[in-house]
Amino acid sequence: MGDKHELPSMRGLLIDLDGTLYHGNNRIDGADRLIQYLTDSDMPYRFVTNNSSASAADVAGRLLNMGIPAEPHHVCTSAQAAAAYIAGKKPNATVFIIGEKGLQEAADEAGLREVTCEQPDFVLQGIDRTLTYERIAQAVSYIRAGSTSIMTNPDLLLPSDNGLIPGAGSIGAMLKAASGHEPVVIGKPSTILMDYALRDIGLPAQHTWVIGDNMATDIAAGEAAGCGKLLVLTGLTNEQNYEYYAEQAGCRPDAICKDLSELLTYIHEHRN
């Protein structure tokens, strides 16, 4: 792992949610104590999620319902980062949205204008569980005619009450195949979401650590952004599959904690 003096300093944290703090609607043991410790000790943190379907307020509400302290301003979603990215490229841009409430609200808050029957500047695509073939055909037509394709996150699958279902990445793969155009990917492991979260927390990468359970998204995103990388074995990655996922991700964490109790101790001992 390397000597801790060679690692980025730990002055702020970018924390994954699903698989790190909860599974579905079930809080992972110690998640409430971890976030309360960060709050009580005034350590800056942000919840960083690839989820584009929920608003920051919705995400915070879900955490609160599980007994995990949360405020909307602590949440950074791929929808918010995508809307900010577009607004940075072209203020007041027009967008054709394939997505749900969180993406639509983020676009509106960023000053983007949603259109449905005219050529947009951007096709903004996330998860959409009411998607129709007609809207896919519209999006493909717009991209082929020159609209820039933006995909909130590359997750091919996402968990549901009925098991894994197609995610935003699966919809994006269909748009890419049909249009022949590569989308701009916002969510982890892209640095776009990470840079958005770093600006929001007000810290440079060399003073910030990424915490998560997924080597391909969380740890790879931390690697790409230049942050410290801390893997927790509370979700997708465990001791048995670690080597496989590390090889797949092409990177390794700077530290590994088996659970959130061990994580809290690590943060307490290594924070600057």
| Residue 18 annotated among the catalytic residues of the structure | yes
Look at residue 272 in the predicted model and tell me its pLDDT.
Answer: 85
The one catalytic residue among 18, 155, 200, 254: 18
Q: What is the pLDDT of residues 120-148, one digit of tens each?
A: 999 999 999 999 999 999 999 999 999 99
Please list the residue range(s) of the chain that carry CATH number 3.40.50.1000. 4-50+189-270, 89-185
Catalytic residue check, 16: yes
Q: Global pTM? A: 0.93
- Nearest one of 16, 158, 179, 178 to 100, comparing CA atoms: 158
From 3, 16, 58, 200, active-site residue: 16
Query: Per residue in 145-187, pLDDT tens?
Result: 999 999 999 999 887 767 778 999 999 999 999 999 999 999 9
Mean pLDDT of the chain: 95
CATH classification for the domain delimited by 4-50+189-270, as one of 3.40.50.1860, 3.40.50.1000, 3.40.50.1360, 3.40.50.300: 3.40.50.1000
Q: Which residues of 41-77 are buried (b: 16+ CB within 10 A; e: fewer)?
A: eebbbbbbbbbbbbbbebbbebbeebebbbeeebbbb
- Per-residue pLDDT of 238-266, as tens digits, reads 999 999 999 999 999 999 999 999 999 99
What's the rounded Cα separation, in Å, for the pair 137 and 174?
A: 10
> Which CATH number does the domain 89-185 belong to among 3.30.930.10, 3.40.47.10, 3.40.50.1000, 3.20.20.70?
3.40.50.1000
Per residue in 55-93, pLDDT (tens digit) is 999 999 999 999 999 999 999 999 999 999 999 999 999
CA distance 186 to 197: 12
